[in-house]
Each structure stands twice: as C-alpha cells, then as structure tokens.
Amino acid sequence: MAKSEGPAIQEVVVERSAFELAIQRGLEEPTEVAFFMVGLIRKGVAYVYDLVEFDYKERTAVSIRSGTERKARIGSMLPIGLQLIGNIHKHPSEIGPVPSWQDREMFLSYARAGGAHAFIIYTVEPVEARAYTVHDEQVVEIGLEVRELREDERLISFQLLIPVNVRICVQKGTSLLELRALLSSKLSTEVEKQISPLKLFSGGREVRREEELLSARVLEGRPLKPVDVEVSWTPGLIYRLYVDEDATDEDIEDILRRALGPDIRVVGN
C-alpha cells in the first residue's frame, strides 16, 4: 500500500491567551496538567481556540490519565464546525517537550479511533512547546505557532433554522417503541435527503457571498420541497420526492415517470 504524501495536520496554531492559560496552570501545579484542545482543522492547519482541563483519573509528576466523562460531555456540546482536536499537556523541564512511550501510545490510540488529531507537549521553566500528530502509524513532529489570530481566522457564530417535514409509512399495528426505534435509525438519513443541497437566507435574501456571513446572526435554511405521491393501487402507500422550490408540475411528473415507470398516470401532486 502506498504511503500518503504527508499528515492531514501539518501545523497547529494556538490562540495566545489559551496557551497562557496552560502555562499558568502548569506553574501552579507540581504534577502534570493536561487539557482537551477545542478548535477546527482547515487546509492542513489545526486551530486551537479553547482549552478544557482534564477530569483527572490519575496524575503524577510524570504521567497523567483523563477520565472519560468530561471528554464525552464536551464532544456533545460542540456546535457544527468545532471539534476536539487532541490534547496538550505539561512535561517536567528535565524531560522536555518530547513524547514519552506512554504519550506515543496515547497518540496512536487517538489515530486508530479515526480522524485527524494533534497534540502539544510543553514545559514551563523554560517555556517550550512542540506539536505532534500521527502519520502512517508513526508519531511525527509538526509546526506550532502560538500567536494572536488574524481577523480571518477568528470565529463567527450563527443559528441555522431549518424547517423539517418528514413522511413516515408504517403498519397500523406498529407500537410506539417500534416507531421510536425506526426514527432513531432512519431519521437522520431522511433529513439529509431533504436538506442537501441547502439554500441559505439572511433577512429574507439568499446568501451568495462569504462576506454576507460576517453580519449574520441567524440564517434560515430552506430545504428542498417535499412532494408526496399517494398511489391508487395500495391504500396508505405514499412515495415522497424532494424537488427545488421552483420545480414545475412537468418537472415533477418527469421525475415520477423516470422513478416509477413511463406508464404511470399522474392524477395530481
């Protein structure tokens, strides 16, 4: 199998105030300290906007182990666009910001679970830091910058409001338990069909340029228009298709004939 050209993350950029928090906590504690890194990965660069300290399960001067509850809770709270990138932790000055074998095993476990991750090891006296990632089952050092973020690197946030209309067909004897199980397994797929592609509007106008996002606080997402087709040969059987809002009756009839056969007679839609 051919090796890939390079790691998915080639550099880590940490917002200066977040790194200063890590340094301050490192000075306060004689043991190791560690934080989950919250941010995003874009064009090969991992941007770290916030650090959340571990809920320690084990901590000594040279080793550390996180509990699992805080990581799970943070992950469930992150909005679309942000993710847990990896972690940053302190090393004693005599060891320096180089990964121990325990660190390497931890980095590899992240990678084997899937996705791109980055890790930072730092010391406080003197202040020194290095960043690492995993590439082709090897821990490799990557670039690291601690600085004020440029204007185009700062975050913006908005709410996206999407009306969702889902059609369901089940037998009359279906229980609520069965219905809930069905929704749990299928609802996300049905919503994805309805909102892809999704047109975005702000103040009633379609957003067509990136600059228009800068002033938006609430975006309205207009999904495709659902069209339900009830067939005459099986009571209760309804087909659903999603079309652009400006699709004509002729467009819909053409889609139906291509899907259900050329001989179908369309009475109404």
Among 227, 228, 202, 207, which residue's Cα sits nearest to residue 217? 202
Regarding predicted confidence, which is higher, 145 or 59? 145
Per DSSP (E only), the strands in the chain are 11-15, 34-42, 45-53, 56-59, 64-66, 83-90, 118-124, 127-135, 138-147, 159-161, 199-202, 205-206, 218-222, 225-230, 238-243
For residues 183 and 169, the answer to whether their CB atoms sit within 8 Å is no
Q: Where are the domains of the chain?
A: 11-153, 159-260
pLDDT for 59 equals 58
Confidence of residue 13 (pLDDT cuts 50, 70, 90): very high
Q: Span 5-19, mean pLDDT?
A: 95
Distance CA 173, CA 168 (A): 14
Cα 52 to Cα 19, 99, 264: the distances in Å are 11, 21, 60
Distance CA 114, CA 110 (A): 7
Distance CA 62, CA 205 (A): 57
pLDDT for 45 equals 97
Q: 117, exposed or middle or buried, with CB in 10 Å at 0-12, 13-18, 19+?
A: buried
pLDDT for 217 equals 86
Query: Token digits for 77?
Result: 């709270």
Query: Token digits for 185?
Result: 């397994």
Whole-model pTM?
0.78
The angle formed by the CA atoms of residues 255, 257 and 259, to the nearest 5 degrees, is 70
Neighbour count for residue 148 (Cβ, 10 Å): 9
Regarding predicted confidence, which is higher, 225 or 264? 225
Q: Is the predicted pLDDT of residue 1 greater than 50, yes or no?
A: no
pLDDT for 158 equals 84
For the stretch 221-262, pLDDT in tens is 988 888 888 877 777 788 888 888 888 988 988 888 888 777
Task: Compute and round to an integer the Cα radius of gyration of the chain.
Answer: 26
For the stretch 59-81, pLDDT in tens is 554 455 556 778 888 888 899 89
Tell me the one-letter amino acid at 203: G
For the stretch 170-206, pLDDT in tens is 889 999 999 999 999 999 998 888 888 888 999 888 8
Distance CA 26, CA 16 (A): 15
For the stretch 23-49, pLDDT in tens is 999 999 888 899 999 999 999 999 999
User: According to CATH, what is the number of the domain 11-153?
Assistant: 3.40.140.10
Tell me the one-letter amino acid at 30: P
